[in-house]
Structure 1
């Protein structure tokens, strides 16, 4: 498995959850179907947890390793992605704060659906870029284990 294999698996999990959420973006039904609203809320909680773990592992493993590389191009690409992810994380945090309560979704399902679609489009673009530009750089680096914190030699 490529070193980026665990990161790519995280992306797959995030995309699957996003797909399940997208299937439930029916504003009319969200106003009246408490069961669907609960399912949606649970899926959002799972997505938030998985995204948080993914970003934390990237911060602990991926970016430090890429930023230490001797190749200036690798460092520059890693720095660009690291800087951008902070903005995406902030947008997601604002989204999560706004919509983490089911009643907020029920009160304005049209706005929730529109914001969710925009956010997931941005997330999908980011995933595609990471998998085609960032992760191949990581895969070419020598040593280390993919997607897991490196153990220091004692």
Structure 2
């Protein structure tokens, strides 16, 4: 299965995470508008990515004759459900400048928890899961 598009979406999401980190370090309230827009932009890519996984990748993997890959796929789907809930709450909470401005510590704390999980998940997929998918 060709997963190049999913891999490129990971790169795009990581770029957006890095941009969000840069803006945060430069001053959360001072860059509230840019941060909110970055959250919206990242959410769009994440939604497209998750949709592709749900519609194409996971259904495809249900049909392969590889028990290890099937187990990993099911485990990743279960783990992702919690991450999605947390990310969606994060993105709704911080999607406007008014919500970000004046809430520097809350944003920083929330971002450190939720976005770290997103980043760790992509790392796991890139290093453990996608190489196995590409072998079939």
Q: TM-score under structure 2 normalisation?
A: 0.91
Deviations 1:92-136 (A, max 9, x none): 011112222321211311110121122221111111110112111
Over aligned residue pairs, what C-alpha RMSD do you find?
Answer: 1.6
Structure 2 gap segments, 5+ residues each? none
- SS, match of residue 18 in structure 1: helix
Task: Give the number of the structure whose alpha-carbon radius of gyration is greater.
Answer: 1
In 2: Cα distance, 1:79 partner to 1:95 partner:
25
2:92 aligned partner = 97
**From 28, 31, 39, the counterpart of 1:30:** 28
Deviation at 1:26, TM superposition (A): 4.2
Normalized per residue, which structure has more helix?
2
Runs of 4+ aligned residues of structure 1 deviating over 6 Å after TM superposition are: none
In 1: Cα distance, 2:58 partner to 2:108 partner:
32
**From 49, 59, 69, the counterpart of 1:54:** 49
Alignment of 1:82-93 (within 5 A): 82-93=77-88
Alignment of 1:1-154 (within 5 A): 3-26=2-25, 29-31=27-29, 33=30, 36-141=31-136
Deviations 1:42-75 (A, max 9, x none): 1111000000000000111111111211221111
- Paired residues in the alignment total 136
In 2: Cα distance, 1:64 partner to 1:13 partner:
24
